[in-house]
Amino acid sequence: MKVEVRASRCKQCELCIHSCPRKAIRQATRLNEQGYRPVEIDDALCIGCGICYMTCPDGVYHVLGSVGSEGGSRP
């Protein structure tokens, strides 16, 4: 499973960074359109568990594949 980031939705709350069991998420050095430093995923560390997707209140993550039995991404 692959997880993509919608950087324009990120508000730098860091909930996903702290919840990632593999520490595969970090803040970017660049700013998004709203002036926040969005998150980036290290694909080499990401195991596709979907915790970031379930934790994020802003729908930053788009999961290609399925997360448990729910799957998909937030609109």
61-64 vs 39-41, strand pairing mode: unpaired
CB-based contact 20:52 (threshold 8 Å):
yes
Buried b (16+ CB within 10 A) or exposed e, 16-55: bbeebeeebbeeeeeebeeebbbbbbeeeebebbbbbbeb
pLDDT of residue 50: 93
2-64 adopts what CATH topology?
A: Alpha-Beta Plaits (3.30.70)
**Residue among 16, 11, 25, 23 at smallest CA distance from 58:** 11
Residue ranges of domains in the chain: 2-64
Q: What is the mean pLDDT of residues 58-64?
A: 94
The owner of tokens 């290609």 is: 64
Q: What is the mean pLDDT of residues 15-23?
A: 98
Tell me the whole-structure pTM to 2 decimals. 0.82
pLDDT of residue 66: 63
